[in-house]
Chains A and B, each alone.
Chain A
Amino acid sequence: MARTPATRHRSRSWGLAFDDLARGWRQQELWGHLGWQDIKQRYRRSVLGPLWITISMAVTAIALGVLYAGLFGNRLEEQLPYILIGFIVWAFIGSSITEGAMVFIANERLIKHLPAPISVHVFRLIWRQTLFFGHNLLVYAVMLVVFPQPLSLASLAAVPAFALLMVNGFWAALLVGIVSTRFRDLPPVTVSVVQLMFFMTPIVWIYEDLLNSTNETIATRARLAELNPFLHYLEIIRRPMLGESFELRHWVVVLVITVLGWALTLVVLRNYRARVSYWV
């Protein structure tokens, strides 16, 4: 029962594209509720409930932290926080993209039965991932007690950094979602690509260690990681969370991609928004 202000169904218009986003945003009660519901649903009837998100993240990070500290010969108090934050942030990035590919396909019945801006489903997705992120931050808090990091006021940069992750997660999910609805090969392709990027991005391996490697070949290879956009997304938030210094170039790259990504997504939204209900 969305309030439609005399909608002329001239489907391909900028006005309608922005209108979709604005009306989707205003239905906070709906997607806010559904996002929570998704999480509660997953852990319904379990004693610990959503706390399992936190626990499984802690177990993964500790196990891999110990493993890779041994493999790379790094100190645990350096390797573990690095891996932990990498995992928490990657969980948000990776899921936003892979679940984004299914965001309209999975909601086919809702889309065909209830008129709602298509962005509602994307808001629900990003909100759900944000809640996951929040649960995982508990592990980070515990980690800070065990392995204190040199946090300072500058660490607050993590807040706008996460806001940027949300803004980017939104366009990525919307874009991949629309294209996937038309081309059903894209969801599996997306899963594979995200999986691959997980290994290409310094999450379990420490970027700076390899850059400063005495082995020239390794150092050269490591430099290629700069071409990986996910590196920059990770670094804008991981560096402040580890109390490391501010690196302008990561922010510049992220901001440029944010603008380009949104521009592309808006064009796709304008042209294919109205087709989604036909395609699902």
Chain B
Amino acid sequence: MASIEVRDASVDFPIFDAKTRSLKKAVLGVVGGRIAPNASKVVVVEALRGITLDLQHGARVGLIGHNGAGKSTLLRLLSGIYEPTGGTASVQGRVAPVFDLGVGMDPEISGYENIIIRGLFLGMTRKQMDERVGDIATFTELGDYLRLPLRTYSTGMRVRLALGVVTSIDPEILLLDEGIGAVDADFLRKARGRLTDLVDRAGLLVFASHSDDLLRDLCDTGIWLEHGQIRMQGPLDEVLVAYNNRGPGPKRRPPAGGGRR
């Protein structure tokens, strides 16, 4: 059974500027540390703070929050790309992250080959992908184009291909980041059907989006992130209402519950 258990996790990014990401400075910093005690201080961005989550098989969670609230970072934390700098994150089950449809695509090789590679990246075996290639080809409606190098494709055609592969796999934990645009409306309707199927097959879904409609389609609970902290967690409709009524202008920082600053 897929499950996600996060306890008081935080993700801190060191921001190395040209000065600190250099061996010379690190060496000199040790030698001459006294002269400039602050010179070796690395700026740290707290992307996530005090995140506690308990998601079980069957959860359909929508991540809500404005740009920079930490949605993508949280998805990467859940996928295991970032291990928390504080607290713990325990993830059980095969994770399929769908963050950027373009990553792992090679413009010089054919559509068919890209289907196989993309699948391997998502943790499928070659054999599994060979079985699915026909189905994906039908779905993408790309026909003989699949024999041509990917660089001859339009943006929309690439998105079709990527969506076709992504929606053909069987993940236990599906992590979706928005940005699935650039397709014509007809195709999107078709893709939405497949997306829903995929979500049904997956044991657990976490979906970050700005689109209330898509969120209502795919999720039942919501998490509102603000400044890297969970502002609210509950049934999707309640969270969406609260989020949409948050008032205009710059919002106040939530009380720092356990978070340092």
Mutual binders A and B: yes
Query: What is the interface of chain A, defined by CB distance below 8 A to chain B?
Result: 1-11, 29-30, 33-34, 37, 41, 44, 109-116, 182-186, 189, 274, 277-279
Closest to A273 in B: B83
Residues of A within 8 A of B120 (CB): 29-30, 33
Residues of B within 8 A of A7 (CB): 80, 90-91
B95 adjacent to A115 (CB under 8 Å): yes
Most buried by A among B13, B81, B89, B125: B81
A157 smallest CB distance to B (angstroms): 35
B108 adjacent to A114 (CB under 8 Å): no
Q: Quick one: which of B83-117 are within 8 Å of A by CB? A: 83-84, 88-97, 99-100, 103-104, 106, 108-109, 116-117
Using known A-B contacts A10-B88, A185-B24, determine if residue A41 contacts B82 with beta carbons closer than 8 Å: no
A115 adjacent to B81 (CB under 8 Å): yes
- Which of A9, A34, A114 meets B83, CB within 8 Å? A9
Residues of A within 8 A of B117 (CB): 33-34, 37
Closest to B174 in A: A1
Residues of A within 8 A of B91 (CB): 4, 7
- A-B contacts, CB under 8 A, total: 103
B106 adjacent to A115 (CB under 8 Å): no
Q: Is B198 at the interface (CB under 8 A from chain A)? A: no
B103 adjacent to A110 (CB under 8 Å): yes
Give the CA-CA distance A182 to B96 in the complex, in Å. Answer: 28
Give the CA-CA distance A111 to B82 in the complex, in Å. Answer: 10
- Which of A4, A37, A115, A182 meets B97, CB within 8 Å? A115
Residues of A within 8 A of B121 (CB): 30, 110, 114, 116
Q: List 12 A-B contacts (CB under 8 A).
A: A1-B169, A4-B91, A9-B84, A29-B126, A37-B106, A41-B108, A111-B81, A112-B76, A113-B97, A114-B81, A116-B121, A184-B21
Give the CA-CA distance A228 to B117 in the complex, in Å. Answer: 41
Give the CA-CA distance A29 to B129 in the complex, in Å. Answer: 12
Closest to B122 in A: A1
Residues of A within 8 A of B13 (CB): 278
Q: 17 additional contacts, CB 8 Å, given A37-B109, A109-B100?
A: A2-B80, A2-B94, A3-B94, A4-B93, A7-B91, A9-B9, A9-B90, A33-B117, A34-B117, A112-B81, A113-B103, A114-B104, A115-B80, A182-B16, A184-B22, A189-B23, A277-B82
Closest to A278 in B: B13
A185 adjacent to B23 (CB under 8 Å): yes
Closest to B23 in A: A183
Q: Is B123 at the interface (CB under 8 A from chain A)? A: yes
Closest to B14 in A: A278
B96 adjacent to A277 (CB under 8 Å): no
B104 adjacent to A110 (CB under 8 Å): yes
Residues of A within 8 A of B24 (CB): 185
B92 adjacent to A4 (CB under 8 Å): yes
Using known A-B contacts A33-B117, A185-B22, A277-B82, determine if residue A2 contacts B108 with beta carbons closer than 8 Å: no
Q: Is B171 at the interface (CB under 8 A from chain A)? A: yes
A16 smallest CB distance to B (angstroms): 9
A29 smallest CB distance to B (angstroms): 5
Q: Is B209 at the interface (CB under 8 A from chain A)? A: no
Residues of B within 8 A of A34 (CB): 117
B63 smallest CB distance to A (angstroms): 17
Give the CA-CA distance A169 to B96 in the complex, in Å. Answer: 31
Q: Is B229 at the interface (CB under 8 A from chain A)? A: no
Give the CA-CA distance A62 to B251 in the complex, in Å. Answer: 72
Give the CA-CA distance A109 to B104 in the complex, in Å. Answer: 8
Using known A-B contacts A1-B95, A114-B97, determine if residue A182 contacts B21 with beta carbons closer than 8 Å: yes
Give the CA-CA distance A11 to B14 in the complex, in Å. Answer: 17
A278 adjacent to B82 (CB under 8 Å): yes
Give the CA-CA distance A3 to B171 in the complex, in Å. Answer: 10
Residues of A within 8 A of B95 (CB): 1-2, 4, 115
Q: Is B79 at the interface (CB under 8 A from chain A)? A: yes
B90 adjacent to A1 (CB under 8 Å): no
Residues of B within 8 A of A277 (CB): 76, 81-83
Give the CA-CA distance A5 to B122 in the complex, in Å. Answer: 17
Q: Is B26 at the interface (CB under 8 A from chain A)? A: yes
